[in-house]
């Protein structure tokens, strides 16, 4: 049962990329039409096949992945999206979005996103990276533009440090995103 609302799930290069597979599954089971876009760095952690199987849709891995139609796939996705959810969102992608850098499929979609769509970011990174003044300035810029941040969470990080920087639990991200979909009706 599809809600008719399209969610673009952007997956970036973080060890937490494997958790995005569960997120895609939860959103799909919740009736969402999930379209996954993976950065090149994300593909170093997990393969597109997992997302293709669980979302039941093709996965965009390159800016030049084209569908059958005449419209570039990144524009078509940006036009149709109700929510662009980037989980995990690295410091790199947060900086690119804050500064309007569009050098891959995901950042091009974000820059071309239709004005009624919501941008939701679930950060995952080393705690020092999250707390760095540059990252915090980029987060403030994106929040001022209406972006919603979910997390990051605190706990043991993959780098061995304890602190802030973990991806929020996907069991909390999915319902928050589905609630945002209800608000956009």
What integer pLDDT is reported at residue 2 of this predicted model? 44
Average the pLDDT over 155-183 and give the result. 85
182: tokens are 């209800």
What integer pLDDT is reported at residue 66 of this predicted model? 62
For residue 171, with 0-12 CB atoms within 10 Å meaning exposed, 13-18 middle and 19 or more buried, which class applies?
A: exposed
Single pTM value for the model:
0.92
CA angle, 107 then 137 then 63, to 5°: 5
The residue written with tokens 């919740």 in the block is 30
Per-residue pLDDT tens digits for 140-150: 999 999 999 99
What integer pLDDT is reported at residue 150 of this predicted model? 97
- Residue 159 known to be catalytic: yes
61: tokens are 């891995």
Decide: 1 and 76 in contact? Cβ < 8 Å.
Answer: no
How far apart, in whole angstroms, are the C-alpha atoms of residue 156 and residue 62? 32
How far apart, in whole angstroms, are the C-alpha atoms of residue 148 and residue 177? 10
Query: Residue 1 above 60 pLDDT?
Result: no
153: tokens are 């969470």
Per-residue pLDDT tens digits for 96-139: 999 999 999 999 999 999 888 999 999 999 888 899 999 999 99
Query: Residue 69 above 80 pLDDT?
Result: no
The residue written with tokens 């995952």 in the block is 124
How far apart, in whole angstroms, are the C-alpha atoms of residue 114 and residue 166? 29
Strands 153-156 and 162-166: antiparallel
What integer pLDDT is reported at residue 4 of this predicted model? 59
How far apart, in whole angstroms, are the C-alpha atoms of residue 165 and residue 127? 5
How far apart, in whole angstroms, are the C-alpha atoms of residue 3 and residue 173? 17
Which residues make Cβ contacts (< 8 Å) with residue 110, sequence separation at least 6?
A: 10, 78, 84, 86, 97, 102, 119
What integer pLDDT is reported at residue 132 of this predicted model? 97
Structural domains present in the chain: 6-183 (3.40.50.1950)
Decide: 84 and 110 in contact? Cβ < 8 Å.
Answer: yes
């Amino acid at each position: 049962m599809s809600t008719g609302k399209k969610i673009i799930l952007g997956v970036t290069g973080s060890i937490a990329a494997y958790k995005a597979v569960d997120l895609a599954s939860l959103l799909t089971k919740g009736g969402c039409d999930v379209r996954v876009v993976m950065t090149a760095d994300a593909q170093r952690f997990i393969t597109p096949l997992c997302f293709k199987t669980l979302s039941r849709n093709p996965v965009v891995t390159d800016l030049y992945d084209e569908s059958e139609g005449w419209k570039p796939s990144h524009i078509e996705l940006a036009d149709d999206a109700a929510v662009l959810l980037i989980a995990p969102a690295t410091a790199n992608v947060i900086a690119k979005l804050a500064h309007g850098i569009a050098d891959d499929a995901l950042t091009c979609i974000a820059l071309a996103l239709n004005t009624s769509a919501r941008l939701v970011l679930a950060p995952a990174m080393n705690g020092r990276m999250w707390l760095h003044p540059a990252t915090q300035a980029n987060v403030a810029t994106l929040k001022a533009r209406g972006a919603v941040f979910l997390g990051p969470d605190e706990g043991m990080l993959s780098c061995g440090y304890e602190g802030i920087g973990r991806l929020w639990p996907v069991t909390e991200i999915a319902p928050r995103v589905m609630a945002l979909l209800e608000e956009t009706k």
